[in-house]
Chain A
Amino acid sequence: MGWTRRLLLLGLVLWTGGASAQDRLSVNGDVDLRWVQASGVTSYLNGGLGILRFDPDHEGFQLGRAFLSPTWRATDIVSVHAVIDAYGDGDRNSVDLSEFYLDVRPFPTAPVRWRARVGAFFMPVSLENRGIGWSNVYSITPSAVNTWIGEEYRTIGAELETRWLGASSGYFGEVALVAAVYGWNDPAGALLATRGFGLTDRPSELFGGLGRPPIDFYHEIDRKPGFYGGLSWKHHDWLEVRALRYDNRGDPGVETNAGGYAWRTRFSSLGASIEPREHWTIVAQYLDGDTAVGADSLGAQQFYMRFHSGFALASFEWSREQFAVRYDDFDTHQVSGFYGPPSDQTGHGWMFSWSHRYNQHWQSVAEWLRVASVFPPRIELGESPAQVESQFQLAVRYRFKLAW
């Protein structure tokens, strides 16, 4: 037996033998490789105003995403989570963080459970992106609503949740209230005004940006904290409802020397996930809000936009197969502050996907997406405002978990 092999064997023994009875440190990992075929205009991510992730100049083999997500259970009630990603798409940092937070969950001493998170994390609003680091559990590409939340929002602050556990009262369900205070989310709204809604599985990173030139999302400009409050309700094992009101309380009159603006962005979201019978899941979500930038004193010169979007998804899961279909509808309407073609977007899209799980590590997903949208600012790129884009992706994913 050669030295290399002996060392490898020793390493393996230490590694597996070192798996303690607690899993104080665990790491989930995922590598997602794609084969892509796309039609339509240049994607916003590549400098155009297309609303899908890939475009005809970015086809063939692509890195969907690679990530590592360590969880360190520092004590029995305190843990630290991070999500470290690579997308290989030329973002500012080739490896970056999308989440990094401290999670505190004291043992319940009454039917009410408290939980606090401090750091940078996704807000608890999606019933679709329930996987680690905003990954979608039904297909590849999230809805327009959840694409946008993954792109422009990260709670950088503190969140407190109180959850009533019904089991001890004979009710098979839970009701939770959540509230958060955060900063560094003043640019939220800029991407929606520039591109409108999109459908991509490319959430932003904490230190990166999206687009060419990139929009940066996580800056504190007006020194005013934002707020969100939400309610969630789980009834038995088959109904879950989530409502959330978000207001970054941005002061649209504040601008930094570097040219960063504070956007005042507010929205309400209501979503439900229903499992009417075994194998079937229906998910629907609707979001409605507005955003403003530029001082109020500008009057009609102040940029002000309203927006709404909704989707409905049906999933059928049987054995190792999962099929999903989704319809998306989205709309933005600029009310004032015109300096060019209006940021008025209307669009809708269909998604069909088929996932097959080979074993606990390997999975393949085939997804076909087609969106039709009208967006006047495309005129400035010499394109027709009305575009139909489609994208076929075949993803092969390898997932693993290590624990010590």
Chain B
Amino acid sequence: MTVVDHDGRSVAEVVVAATPAGAIPGSPPGLKPAVMDQRNREFVPRVLVVGVGTSVEFPNNDTVSHQVYSFSAAKRFQLPLYKGQPHPPVTFDKPGLVVLGCNIHDAMVGYVYVTDAPYFGITETAGGLTLKDLPAGDYRIVVWGPYIADAPASLVRTVHVDGSEPVIARFQLSLGLRARPEPRPRRRDWEY
């Protein structure tokens, strides 16, 4: 499974979610707790994908305090000023995109993509993504990434998995990626 941009380059930090088209034998993988870390005034990872009902920890491993919040419809929450891990995990109980911010550091942006698909993952820079142990059947595959400018409707397709051969799915984006805010060396004169 690869997502490539209009120049054919592999795109990282893209969520891929696969939902079986009909009833499929076998039980889908269970929910695993996830972690959205904070380091050097950035969310790590910047993009996290979790299944509906997953609990996510938000440890702050920075030298400064953070106040994490979301006003996204899929999950509204606020974690008052903290360092370390004083807050209980946040449970994401509705599908949708949750954009994270820090009330002290406006430049911090993170994404939690909450999906009701049983199979999902995130592409890596070179290797794309491999979804393993999918039972045979038809799957509706959705991709999403914060830097993808293509219309969401064009980012859905159906793929048939026959259970014997690996299936290679390739998403080609037609529009250029949105310029991503690359982390630049910052003047760390003061820590607020």
Contacts and interface: CB of A to CB of B under 8 A. Distances in A.
A275 B185 CA distance: 11
Contact of A21 (B84, B104, B190): B84
Interface in B152-192: 178-185, 187-192
A122 to B, nearest CB: 14
Contact of B185 (A28, A137, A279, A360): A279
A111 B71 contact: yes
Interface stretch (A167-175, A255-263, A334-342): A167-175
Interface in B68-109: 69, 71-72, 76, 78, 80-84, 86, 99, 101, 103-104, 106-107, 109
A28 B190 contact: yes
Classify the interface of chain B: helix, strand, loop or mixed: loop
Interface residues of A, number: 38
Given A21-B86, A109-B76, A236 B189 contact: no
B190 A73 contact: no
B81 A73 contact: yes
A275 B182 CA distance: 12
A380 interface: no
B81 A131 contact: no
A343 to B, nearest CB: 36
B64 interface: yes
A110 interface: yes
B53 interface: no
Given A163-B106, A167-B109, A237-B184, A23 B71 contact: no
Contacts of A279: 185
A205 to B, nearest CB: 20
B67 A76 contact: yes
Given A22-B82, A77-B103, A279-B185, A170 B146 contact: yes
A131 B190 contact: yes
Given A110-B71, A237-B182, A278-B184, A168 B99 contact: yes
B127 to A, nearest CB: 26
Interface string A34-48: 000000000000000
B112 to A, nearest CB: 12
A192 interface: no
Nearest to B100: A167
Chain A interface main SS type: loop
Nearest to B84: A21
B43 to A, nearest CB: 11
B187 A137 contact: yes
B80 A237 contact: no
Contacts, number: 82
Contact of A168 (B71, B107, B192): B71
A332 B101 CA distance: 45
A385 B3 CA distance: 69
Contact of B178 (A163, A172, A399): A172
A21 B106 contact: no
B99 A113 contact: no
Contacts of A401: 191
A241 to B, nearest CB: 16
Contact of A236 (B76, B84, B181, B185): B181
Contacts of B192: 71
A172 B190 contact: no
A23 B109 contact: no
Given A76-B80, A167-B101, A275 B184 contact: yes
A399 B189 CA distance: 9
Contacts of A111: 71
Contacts of B81: 22-24, 73, 76
A21 B99 CA distance: 25
A15 B3 CA distance: 52
B81 to A, nearest CB: 5
The residue among A23, A163, A167, A279 with the most chain B CB atoms within 10 A of its own CB is A167
Contacts of A322: 187
Contact of A23 (B64, B69, B183): B64
A107 interface: yes
A22 B99 contact: no
A104 to B, nearest CB: 11
A105 B101 contact: no
Contact of A137 (B106, B179, B189, B191): B189
A108 B190 contact: no
A313 to B, nearest CB: 13
Nearest to A174: B106
21 contacts: A21-B84, A22-B83, A23-B64, A23-B83, A71-B192, A105-B103, A107-B67, A107-B103, A110-B71, A131-B190, A165-B106, A168-B71, A170-B146, A170-B178, A172-B180, A236-B181, A237-B181, A237-B182, A278-B185, A322-B187, A401-B191
Give me the 10 closest cross-chain CB pairs, A-B, nearest first.
Answer: A237-B181, A76-B80, A167-B109, A168-B99, A23-B65, A107-B78, A21-B84, A107-B69, A172-B181, A21-B83
